[in-house]
Structure formats: structure tokens, C-alpha cells
Amino acid sequence: MLHEGGTTLKRTLVGLLRSFETTGEKAKDPELKTRYYKLSKDQVWEETVGMMKKTPGYKLLHEVKNVGEIVVEKRTALGRTQDITITLFAVNPTTTAIDIYSASRGNMGDLGSNYRTILDIYKQLDKKLAAYKISH
């Protein structure tokens, strides 16, 4: 499944060595850039927690609302466990940013599965909050 000039293949090769993936403002890959939504942090929090509780394959472990962290766990097709931290930041009272960090337990690479997990969560959020997504 190659798209956009072999991004998936590249991530698989990077994933042979690396067992984590993270998003951020300065991410070179546009897919891994911080997401912004024109909603308050509380509204995005409720939507995100609700979504993660209902999404098959993900298990909600912790919600720390005052610091904006939602911690979930996912089992991969190969039986490994990924620890995922979804962090919400209030940019201002009506705008919220979301970053995601995903890491596989163990010391082997992840073959790009953390990358795919982040894209999956962002895709679900973008769909659920489509009317509020802000392009950067």
C-alpha cells in the first residue's frame, strides 16, 4: 500500500529500527503535523475520550484532564502492545491542538505500525470533528 511517493514504505523501513512515532509542529511528514480544531479543549476532550472508548482495538487506560493527556493501549496484528498518549493543548479558549505519541513495548522496531496508529487516530478525529478542523 504505497501512497504519496512511498511514504508507507519509507515508514516501514524506518520502523525496522525505531519503535515509536510522534507528531508535532515541526514534523517533516505532513501526516504527522499537529492537528488543530476550532473547539474548546473541554469539547475536544469529550469527543476524543468518547471516540477512544468506542474504537475497537483500543483500550482507554488513563484520562488526566487537567494536563490534557489521554493514555490508550492498542494490540497490533503481531500481538505487540502500543502505548499511545494523546495530548490536548488549549491554544486559546476556542482552539485546541492535538499531538499523539505512540510507542511499541519491547526493543524491536515496529515496521511502521506506530505511524499507522497515529494516522488512524487522526483520521478518526478529522472525521468526527471535520466541521471544526483548521488547516495549517
Domain ranges of the chain: 7-134
Which of 55-59, 85-89, 116-120, 132-136 is the least confident region?
Answer: 132-136
Residue/partner pairs of 105-109 with CB below 8 Å, 24 or more apart: 105/80, 105/81, 106/19, 106/80, 107/19, 108/19, 109/15, 109/16, 109/17, 109/18, 109/19
pLDDT band at 11 (very low <50, low <70, confident <90, very high): low
Q: Which three cell numbers stand for residue 6?
A: 512511498
pTM of the model: 0.88
- Of residues 19 and 48, the one with the higher pLDDT is 48
- pLDDT, position 80: 87
Query: Which residue's entry shows cell 515509536?
Result: 20
Q: Which three cell numbers stand for residue 65?
A: 484532564
Tell me the fold of 7-134. TATA-Binding Protein (3.30.310)
Q: pLDDT at residue 4 above 80?
A: no
* Cβ contacts of 58 within 8 Å, gap of 6 or more: 52, 72, 73, 74, 84
pLDDT band at 15 (very low <50, low <70, confident <90, very high): low
Reported as a single tens digit per residue, the pLDDT across 57-113 is 999 999 999 999 999 999 987 788 999 999 999 999 999 999 999 999 987 777 788
- pLDDT, position 6: 56
